[in-house]
Structure 1
Amino acid sequence: MSTPSPAIVFTDWDGTVTLQDSNDYLTDNLGMGLTNRLKINDDILDGTVTFRDGFREMLESVPTKFNECIDILLKDIRLDPGFKTFYDYCATKDIPVVVVSSGMRPIIHALLCKLVGEEAATKIEIISNDVEVDPATGKWNILFKHPESGFGHDKAQSIKQYLQENGSPSVPLFYCGDGVSDLSAAKETNLLFAKHGRDLIKYCIRESIPYTEFKDFGDIHSKLDNILQGASVEEFLGK
């Protein structure tokens, strides 16, 4: 980065920046349904199925053409009520906001343009999986960023690569997440924001990973501002 920033914020997208997980939404409403998805989700948490394989199975159950999936999501997915204000705050402070997602780039980009704005979409870097679409049939499948990894997208690896490519800045690093796709990133930053009532908190408790809880990005905004004004990260752990 050409200008030193006071911090870097990495964030999950689905269920974190958005109120609903777009991949879960497609699976529950167009694919295998909620009950079957939750069974796979439990298997992932238990370690009997990798996130990559479970996620692929969920998405393969969706028969709908990809462009139709995007249209449905643009109509039904909503933004966290505090994110836009949080992003604007980060922009004034020259704090990069980097989306690190196990979702698919075209879906994230389309939602980002609609929910946050096209200007923000040009400034927020998206590190994610991609998608392969058959132009003749509209059928599609996910292209994992790290297909050799059990995560499909190893978010820890992506965070490390981002920092290497940007000069390994020695500033506070934050990560915001909610679910099983965030497990690999949970140990990579100075302060993990874990969403209230979601699976990531269960994992953090089980693995003794320090975190601070949030309900929406208004909570993250307040805590980040306090830290930038001199509060220590340790003050917020477990709260």
Structure 2
Amino acid sequence: MSASTLTYMKTNPKLIFFTDFDGTITLEDSNDAMIDNLGYGYAKRRQGNEAVLDGTMSFRDAFRDMLDSIKTPYDECIEYLKKNMRLDPYFVEFYHWSREHNVPIVVLSSGMIPVIRALFEALLGGKTDDHLFIVANEVEGRDGKDINSEGGWQIKYHDDSHFGHDKSLEIKPYAALPDSVRPTLLYAGDGVSDLSAARETDLLFAKKGKDLVTFCEREKIPFTLFESWESILATTKDILSGKVSVKSVAQGGLEAVQQGANKN
């Protein structure tokens, strides 16, 4: 596949930033919030996440089970999230900086596009600019019901993978570009939904204290820790300007973790 046919290459960027949404761009995971407060609760959700991490359950099955526990009508779920979700304040700064510096942001989410769009519009104060893309699952009616009725909605997965949405599929065509045109590829994430993308980019930002760090340490996948988009923005600026290399950042991240940086 040539660069000219790839969506995020239209402006010939030097860097593309792929990112998770929930718990990465937002301070709290919107799906977790719904499951914990409108569904079957934190304890059962954690059991599902742990089953995914230890390989005894697919993310696809675990996540569907979690979301199916939510009987609240879809429109009421959206209103609940608008009242309770917040963006990482430094993401807003990153969002504006990336537009000015030709850095496409590609949100790869295990969540649902209508939910993500609604939250972006509410929390950014309007429709997103065209340098931000969303690739995620959809919402559909359950058993012929209206989605705004009790128990009326369910997730419609993006693909047939055991992830439900295999995030790596969106990244791989860009990773395969020849060096002469290939941009630097970065990814930020926090949890089990990011496992499919963890190996695919030049640098992975993994949120401190979260499940993605556990996975990367176990699988020996290079990453650098972040606590907020403040450090992501600073590091991305340095990479784009050539002040630091991706390799040096990854090495520094590994050393920091070995010295206990992931411990609270």
SS at match of 1:185: coil
Contact 1:113 1:121 in 2 (8 A): no
Count of equivalent residues: 236
The Cα of 1:157 is off from its aligned counterpart by: 1.0
Cα 1:182–1:169 change in 2 (3 A) is farther
For structure 1, the 5+ residue unaligned runs are none
2:247 to 222, 231, 234: 234
SS at match of 1:201: helix
Q: CA RMSD in A?
A: 1.8
Stretches of 4+ moved more than 4 A in 1?
A: 161-165
Quote the residue 1:210 is aligned against. 222
**Does 2:41 align with 1:33?**
yes
SS at match of 1:118: coil
Distance 1:157 1:130 in 2: 17
Cα 1:169–1:53 change in 2 (3 A) is farther
In the superposition, the TM-score normalised over structure 2's length comes to 0.85
The Cα of 1:162 is off from its aligned counterpart by: 6.7
In the superposition, the TM-score normalised over structure 1's length comes to 0.94
2:146 to 128, 135, 138: 135
Quote the residue 2:193 is aligned against. 181
Give 1:12-27 correspondences, 5 Å limit.
12-27=20-35
For structure 2, the 5+ residue unaligned runs are 1-8, 257-264
Quote the residue 1:144 is aligned against. 157
Q: 1:120-158: per-residue Cα shift (whole Å, max 9, x none)? A: 255411000001033376210100001x21100000012
**Does 2:110 align with 1:115?**
no
Same amino acid, percent of matched pairs: 47
Higher Rg: 2
The Cα of 1:104 is off from its aligned counterpart by: 0.4
Q: Residue type matched to 2:133 in 1?
A: E
Q: Residue type matched to 2:155 in 1?
A: I
Distance 1:232 1:123 in 2: 24
